[in-house]
Amino acid sequence: MASIHVRGEGGQVIKMDLPLPEPIQDRLTKGLIRRVNADGSPYLGDAPTPAPAAPQGSALTQGRTPRPAVNARKAEWVGWAVGVHGMDPEDADALSKADLIELPEEPRQPVVPELPSALTPEPPATARAEGRPDEDADKAEWIAYVVAQGQMSAEDAANLTRDDLIDLAQ
C-alpha cells in the first residue's frame, strides 16, 4: 500500500496510507497541512527536476498554481488562494467559495507612490538593502522575498508560517 508523510498543524511528521481520508485530503489541499519527506524535509516530488519550461505553456509549467474551475470544491479554491495570493490557510478557509472565486488571477502588487528623495524615510533597522521585508510585514511579502531569494517555491513557502519564513530568511 502506498503511503506519504505529512507535517500536521502541530509540526509532527505523520505517515499516512493512500488514499487519504477525505477530511485529511481537504486539509492537505487547503494548505493546513503539507506533504514532507519521512525526515520532515520539504517534499519536492518523486520525479527528477524538469528542465526549465519555454516561456509559452500552461500555468503548471511556469511554476504557478492554476486557477481551479468554477465548479471545483472549495478546498481547491482555498489551496489556490494560499498558493497564489499567499493567504493564511485559515483566513482563506474562512472566506466563502464565492469570495475566493472573486479573487483576481494574479495577486495585486501594492502601489507605492514615489517620494522626493528628501522626503524618503530611512529604512527601519530591521530592513536590509536587498529588499528584505520588515519584521512586521505580512506573510505575502515574506513569501515573495523567500521566493525571490530562490530558497523555495511559492507553493512551499505558502505552507510555512510567517515566523518560519522570517527564520528562513535569517
Answer whether 84's CB lies under 8 Å from 107's CB.
yes
Name the residue among 118, 110, 87, 113 with its Cα closest to residue 100.
87
Strands (E), 18-160: 34-36
How much is the pTM?
0.44
One digit per residue, the tens of pLDDT, for the chain of length 170 reads: 789 999 887 778 889 999 999 988 888 888 888 888 988 888 887 655 444 444 444 555 566 678 888 899 998 898 888 888 888 888 888 899 999 998 888 776 655 666 555 555 555 544 444 678 888 888 888 888 888 887 888 888 888 888 888 888 77
Q: Taking a C-beta distance cutoff of 8 angstroms, is the pair 71, 77 a contact?
A: no
CA gyration radius, the chain: 18
Angle at 22 between CA 20 and CA 28, to 5 degrees: 70
Give the contacts of 58 (CB within 8 A, at least 6 positions apart): 66
Q: For residues 79 and 68, what is the distance between their CA atoms, to the nearest angstrom?
A: 9
